[in-house]
């Protein structure tokens, strides 16, 4: 059983679905990295509830920007190969 019946459905998944799944997979990792880097000093200054809110916003922003960067470079690389 093939996952994608034709090439068009595979391309559609790669352009729309894969970045969404990548974002879901990498958001916790990026969140842990941001919290490990700035969490302790920021929590000492303003407390943990505010720190968690700030790190959550930074996590989603970094994930969004990285996905946009990977999508833009992926199109350029794929266009060079063809």
pLDDT tens per residue, range 15-55:
777 888 888 999 999 999 999 999 999 999 999 999 999 99
In a domain, 8, yes or no: no
In a domain, 50, yes or no: yes
In a domain, 27, yes or no: no
In a domain, 82, yes or no: no
In a domain, 47, yes or no: yes
**Residues spanned by the domain of 40:** 34-77
Count of domains forming the chain: 1
In a domain, 63, yes or no: yes
- Chain-centre distance for alpha carbon 20: 8
Q: What is the CA radius of gyration of the chain?
A: 18
Q: How confident is the model at residue 13 (pLDDT cuts 50, 70, 90)?
A: confident
Rounded to an integer, what distance in angstroms lies between the CA atom of residue 45 and that of residue 51? 9
């Amino acid at each position: 059983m093939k996952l994608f019946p034709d090439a068009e459905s595979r391309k559609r998944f790669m352009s729309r679905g894969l970045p969404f799944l990548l974002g879901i997979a990498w958001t916790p990792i990026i969140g842990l990295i941001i919290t490990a880097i700035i969490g302790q000093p920021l929590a000492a200054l303003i407390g943990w509830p505010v720190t968690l809110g700030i790190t959550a916003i930074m996590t989603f922003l970094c994930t969004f920007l990285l996905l946009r960067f990977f999508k833009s470079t992926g199109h350029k690389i794929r266009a060079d190969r063809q």
